[in-house]
Structure 1
């Protein structure tokens, strides 16, 4: 339910008066003389960005698997078995079907007695329990930052945030088309959605590899408060 703001105009008028100027009712986007944030990896091709991502993944303790739409199901199954199989939890996302993963996730693995849960908003807190008990969480990156090896996740009713941090292992499917140089371009893409009136999720998560901490005597510890291991499977979709 939308709330009501009382005495807003009087309040803002009073602030402007105390500042000794007229109250501004419109704002103009600032135009900066220098924009160094746009110079990093400027003009890099998608393949060059993939090379940058490969190097960064080696630094953030994240395996990067190169795949295609035709081999994705096979590559995913192989990594699932390496991680010790289920329980598995995934988003309820039509892209799993588009990438040809339904035969694996909805048929083959269940037939092999592997537990595969799909996030269901109708189940409420049961989703959280399934995520806590899951060995593997499988999600899809919306935007991927080559410079930092960061995946951007849009949360929603069918895309629970818990899948990215509660299971022991995290597998992120990274469409090649989602790769951008860095945070600068990701923020711009999100801002454009807002300007265009598109629905933007209330929670947008930027995740870089497995959980880690260097708080104790500056010693890096991987797998502290989230996935112990993370894998990105980059899919050639362009």
Structure 2
């Protein structure tokens, strides 16, 4: 159920009064004469976007695998095997079935919001978390995840390893396109997710003596599996 903001106008007017400022007025969205961000990398073809994503994955220490829809189940099996399988947690997402993925062949826990705290406990102990990417940014190697019913954010944040299944059709040049999609979603309260996570591979830190450490928090390793669907 979408949330609502109660007494917003009264609340803002009270703050303005206490600060001795005029009451808030409606702000019109500015129209910028130049918007170079909307043109950057937009000339790339779908295959070039995949190449850019692959190159960026090398920089963010993230595994990258390309496959077809027909081979996706076996490709996923290989990646899971490379991570020593163990307990797996995944979204309750119809895209698994639509893409011929059989999660029952693994020791898989499917996220269920009715189980409450149990979901987080399982995610924390799991070896692998698996989700689909809703939007994918080629420039930064980022998967954008829209949380919601059956799609808990802990699945991508708490397990030791993370696998993102990336339909090629979700790959866009950069954050500009993702923001445009989010702005469209904001107009539909029923469609807007409860949380949006942007994940660019495992965490990186060089705070101590400039020595790079990967996987400081969250998953230690991550792999993106790009599926040719266009």
Change over 3 Å in CA distance of 1:27–1:54 after alignment to 2 = same
Q: Which runs of no fewer than 5 residues in structure 1 stay unpaired?
A: 110-114
Secondary structure in structure 1 of the residue aligned to 2:42: coil
Change over 3 Å in CA distance of 1:23–1:118 after alignment to 2 = closer
1:219 to partner: Cα distance = 2.0
The corresponding residue for 1:64 is: 64
Moved over 6 A (4+): none
TM-score, length of structure 2 as denominator length:
0.90
Secondary structure in structure 2 of the residue aligned to 1:85: coil
Compute the RMSD of aligned alpha carbons: 2.3
The corresponding residue for 1:225 is: 217
1:237 to partner: Cα distance = 1.2
Aligned length in residues: 227
Which structure has the greater CA radius of gyration?
Answer: 1
- Asked whether the 8 Å contact 1:12–1:23 carries over to 2, the reply is no
1:154 to partner: Cα distance = 0.8
1:217 to partner: Cα distance = 2.4
Q: Which moved more, 1:77-86 or 1:209-218?
A: 209-218
Distance of 2:174 and 2:17 partners within structure 1 = 41
Matches within 5 A, 1:48-87: 48-87=48-87
CA offsets 1:155-210 (integer angstroms, 9 cap, x no match): 11311111111111100000100001101110011101113555211210000001
TM-score, length of structure 1 as denominator length:
0.87
Distance of 1:23 and 1:136 partners within structure 2 = 48
1:77 to partner: Cα distance = 0.4
